[in-house]
Amino acid sequence: MPHSMLSFLDITPDSHFPLQNLPYGIFSRPGESARAGVAVGDWVLDLAVLEFGGFFDHPLLRGFAPFSQDSLNRFMGLGKPAWQVARRTIQELLAADNPLLRDDGELRGRAFHPRNQVLMHLPAHIGDYTDFYSSREHATNVGIMFRGRDNALMPNWLHLPVAYHGRASSIIPSGQDIHRPYGQLVEGSSTTPIFSPSRQMDFELEMGFFVGPGNDLGRPIAVDEAPNHIFGLVLVNDWSARDIQRWEYQPLGPFNAKNLATSISPWVVPLEALEPFRTPGPAQEPKPLTYLQSVGDWAYDIHLEVQLQSEMMDTPLTISRSNFRYLYWNMPQQLAHHTITGCNMRPGDLLASGTISGPEPDSYGSLLELTWRGERPIPLPTGEQRQFLADGDRVTMTGYCQGKGYKVGFGEVTARLLPPAG
């Protein structure tokens, strides 16, 4: 166990990255190769330096060099016992009453880098990406808009975690801006499409989890074993072109409306760091089939916010406050359902939650809902209004769990919407 949950580093109570968190990421400095680090306070702890120094000389980690890689895939694949060893080692090295790193000035000089002076990369080589549709409030809102209140939820929705396979190649790290996409869309009541830049660009407030050890083809992951396969969580903004989507989605669902970009935060918060914040999720009625019946509380009390800043605004405006605990289908259920056919998961695969909306209008997780399909524009302090995103708009999402005197946070995922390319 760690010596203390206090660090010799100066970490403020409102920091997202205390010793209770220690999220993993992949970073680089100018002229240097990318490798693994941990965010702690305002610093990045260089795990490759510690690895080279022999601090991870443990049978579960020895010989794998997981932190000298340009992705976390190898570390993710080592499994929960190895993750626990690494986490305990890092916590002990950072503890206020442990002199090993605290009093070694030369080592500290090589091992710590100011967090605002490093370049963050995607944390994993993402082989596959699946996006769920697990918020009942979101699914109901969208259903009411397009099918009416009596047919808001499709017949299957309360029986299985609905999802679609997304495009892994267009997943990008926070800070990388995106262009408004071109596509087919229809105007008004027309049934003849035009080719045009999307006029209804939207964000989607989501979270995602990375798979650790996978499963062999043909061997499902049981719902009660699923938590051992979940490495950690990130913030997700799954950009959406609503007008392109409305024309294309029948009969096979999202395609070009979603494949343009999916932004994720760079720091992966370990599932273990979220353990104190587990909470009951929504009651599931009807009772799911046996293979989806998870035991215990698998929702998490993660406060989420979305901020919007136009080019005319000096500071961003918070337009949504939601919470991860609102999700109807939890992560073990999502993973179990994904693999019930025998589908094989691999380290670094990303599974996203789908838009997270709460019960109140200010907790909706998309502009489609916040403006109710554009019927209720959002007023901005500059006198502007937004039904959907305008070119130059910046969307920033953040999230954290509030502990007693500390936060376990996710940092942020941010990007601007640029005009169409070309």
CA distance 202 to 200: 6
Q: Does 328 have pLDDT greater than 50?
A: yes
Burial of 379 (0-12, 13-18, 19+ CB in 10 A): exposed
- The ranges assigned to domains in the chain are 24-121, 129-418
Among all residues, which ones are annotated catalytic?
138
CA distance 211 to 230: 5
Q: What residues pair up with 113 in beta bridges, in sequence order?
A: 44
Q: Does 1 have pLDDT greater than 50?
A: no
CA distances to 17, 143, 145, 269, 395 from 326, in Å = 24, 18, 20, 19, 22
Spell out the residues 6+ positions from residue 148 whose beta carbon is closer than 8 angstroms to its own.
none
Average pLDDT in the chain: 97
The DSSP letter of residue 337 is H
As a whole number, mean pLDDT of residues 123-139 equals: 98
Q: Which helix (H) or strand (E) holds 78?
A: helix 73-78
pTM: 0.97
CA distances to 34, 67, 230, 265, 336 from 17, in Å = 21, 19, 20, 14, 30
Peptide bond into 286 cis (omega under 30): yes
Spell out the residues 6+ positions from residue 141 whose beta carbon is closer than 8 angstroms to its own.
152, 357, 364, 368, 369
Nearest residue to 259 via CA among 285, 247, 241, 283: 241
As a whole number, mean pLDDT of residues 387-396 equals: 98
Taking only the tens place, the pLDDT of each residue in 243-266 is 999 999 999 999 999 999 999 999
Q: Does 104 have pLDDT greater than 60?
A: yes
Q: Does 422 have pLDDT greater than 80?
A: no
Domain 129-418 sits in CATH 3.30.1490.20: no
pLDDT on residue 344:
98
Q: To the nearest whole percent, how much of the chain has pLDDT over 90? A: 97
- The answer to whether 34 touches 28, Cβ cutoff 8 Å, is yes
CA distance 215 to 219: 6
pLDDT on residue 210:
99
Scanning the structure block, which residue is given the tokens 């407030």?
205
Scanning the structure block, which residue is given the tokens 């967090």?
115
Pull the structure tokens for residue 87. 């986490």
CA distance 31 to 25: 18
Taking only the tens place, the pLDDT of each residue in 208-247 is 999 999 999 999 999 999 999 999 999 999 999 999 999 9
Q: Does 301 have pLDDT greater than 70?
A: yes
Nearest residue to 212 via CA among 123, 141, 105, 289: 123
**Residue ranges in 79-218 assigned as alpha helix (H):** 80-94, 99-102, 105-111, 136-147
Main-chain dihedrals φ then ψ at residue 153, nearest 5 degrees: -95, 135
CA distance 21 to 36: 16
Pull the structure tokens for residue 281. 């999720």
Fold match between domain 24-121 and domain 129-418: no
pLDDT band at 4 (very low <50, low <70, confident <90, very high): low
Q: What residues pair up with 171 in beta bridges, in sequence order?
A: 262
Q: Does 116 have pLDDT greater than 60?
A: yes
Residue type present at position 153 = L
**Class of the CATH domain delimited by 24-121:** mainly beta
Taking only the tens place, the pLDDT of each residue in 25-52 is 999 999 999 999 999 999 999 999 999 9
pLDDT band at 2 (very low <50, low <70, confident <90, very high): very low
- The answer to whether 92 touches 101, Cβ cutoff 8 Å, is no
Q: Does 70 have pLDDT greater than 90?
A: yes
Spell out the residues 6+ positions from residue 366 whose beta carbon is closer than 8 angstroms to its own.
138, 202, 203, 204, 205, 240, 355, 357
Q: Which helix (H) or strand (E) holds 39?
A: strand 35-40
CA distance 205 to 326: 12
Q: Does 3 have pLDDT greater than 60?
A: no
Phi and psi based region of residue 189 (left: phi greater than 0; alpha: psi -120 to 50; beta: remaining): alpha
Q: To the nearest whole percent, how much of the chain has pLDDT over 70? A: 99
